[in-house]
Amino acid sequence: MASEAIIETRDLSYSYPGGISALSSVNLEIRQGEFVAIIGSNGSGKTTLVKHFNGLLKPSQGHVMVDGLDTRTTRVSELSRIVGFVFQNPDHQIFAYSVWEEASFGLKLHKLDAETVEQQTTEALQAVSLDELRDRHPRALSRGQRQRLATASILALRTPVLVLDEPTTGQDFLSRRQIMALAVELHADGRTVLMVTHDMALVAEYATRVIVMKDGAAVCDASPNEVFKQDEVLKSTGLDLPPVAKIARGLRAYGFSDTPLTQTELVENLLTAIRS
C-alpha cells in the first residue's frame, strides 16, 4: 500500500493566460502515506503545482493522474472526494450561518445520509477542537479558529489525500502547533499529506519527503536530511536552513558532520559527539 502512487505528474507544464510560464515539465510521483513538503520562494510555482492535484488548474502540457483519473477529463467535484484542499485564507470559503453547517457542507453535497453527515462532521470538528462552538456564527470566531474550521470542513470529507496550502502562515505558535499535530495525526492515520510552506522548521520536523520548487521546476526531491545537505540548491532558491540544521552547519568546522532535523536529535548527536 505504501508504494502505490496516488498522484502522478507526467511532463506537467503550465502557463497562465497571457503566456507566463509557471511550471515546466514536472515529473513527480506521490505515493500513498507520504508526508510531502513542497517548498520554494514566492512565485516558484508551489501553489500552481498543488492546484493541479485536484484539477483546479488543468495542465497546458502533460498529464496529472490522481488515483488513476486524468485531471483533464475529471471534474473538480469528483476529484474533491480524493484530494482535500485546505486554502490559506479561510475567509474565501466560509459562507454558512453556523460552524456545523459550514463543516458539513461538503458532505451534504456528496449526498450522504444524515447520520453519516452528523458523525463525520462531529469527528472533524472534534479533531480541530471546535465541536463546542458548533452553533456559533463563523464570523464570531477568531482568525485561527476560522482557519481550523476551514480545515475541518475538508477533514469531514475524509479524503485519502490532504493538501495544505501554507497552513501556518499568519498563525501564532499555538495554532501552528495544533495544525501540525493534526497533520501528523492524519498522516499516522494513513493519509497522504502534502504541505506547501515556507516554514523550514516545520519541514525539518515533520516531512518525510521534500520537493524544492524553483522557477516552475522541481529542482530537488529527496528526504529532508538530504535536501538540507544541499546548501547551494537551497541558497539559489532563496530558502534558509531550519535553525537546527544551521547550528549543525556551524559546528561542521569542529568535525560535526550530521544533519539533525529536530532539536532532540541535535542535542543527542552533540552529546554523543562530546562524550566520545
Partner 1 sequence: MPTIDIQYFKEDSFVHRLHPFTKVLFEIAVLVIAAAFNEPLFLAVVILAIIGVASLAKIPVRKFRYMWVLAYIVLFMVITQGVWFTSFGDFGDIDVEFEWRTLFHLWPAWAPGGPRIPVILEGANYGFSLGLRVVAISLAFPILVLTTHPSDLTRFLSQIRIGSWRIPYNVIFVFTTAFRYIPTVSREFDQTLDAQRSRGVNFGGYNPIRQIRVVMTLFVPVLTSSLLSAHDLTLALETRAFGAPTERTFIHEVHWRRADWGVCALLIIIAIGCLILANSYGLGVLPYTPQRNI
The contact set with partner 1 (CB under 8 A) reads 16-18, 51, 54, 56, 75-77, 80-81, 84-85, 87, 89, 91-95, 105-106, 109-110, 139, 153-154, 157
* Smaller CB separation from partner 1, 92 or 275: 92
* Smaller CB separation from partner 1, 18 or 255: 18
Shortest Cβ 260–partner 1 spacing (Å): 36
Cell of residue 129, nine digits: 477542537
Shortest Cβ 257–partner 1 spacing (Å): 44
- Closest by alpha carbon to 10, among 56, 80, 72? 72
Cell of residue 157, nine digits: 470529507
* Smaller CB separation from partner 1, 157 or 220: 157
- What is the four-CA torsion angle of 239, 266, 194, 186, rounded to 10 degrees? -160
Q: H helices of the chain, where?
A: 46-51, 76-79, 99-109, 114-127, 143-155, 173-188, 200-206, 224-229, 231-236, 243-250, 263-275
* Smaller CB separation from partner 1, 72 or 177: 72
Shortest Cβ 17–partner 1 spacing (Å): 6
Evaluate whether 153 touches 101 at the Cβ level (below 8 Å): no
Please state, in angstroms and as integers, the Cα–Cα distance from residue 199 to each residue in 10, 140, 174, 242, 252, following that order.
28, 29, 15, 8, 24
Shortest Cβ 33–partner 1 spacing (Å): 22
C-alpha 124/C-alpha 185 separation (Å) is 12
* Smaller CB separation from partner 1, 94 or 200: 94
Shortest Cβ 271–partner 1 spacing (Å): 46
Burial (CB count <10 Å: 0-12, 13-18, 19+), residue 76? middle
Shortest Cβ 149–partner 1 spacing (Å): 12
Shortest Cβ 85–partner 1 spacing (Å): 4
* Smaller CB separation from partner 1, 76 or 247: 76
* Smaller CB separation from partner 1, 104 or 259: 104
- Identify any residues that bridge with 113 across adjacent strands, giving them in sequence order: none
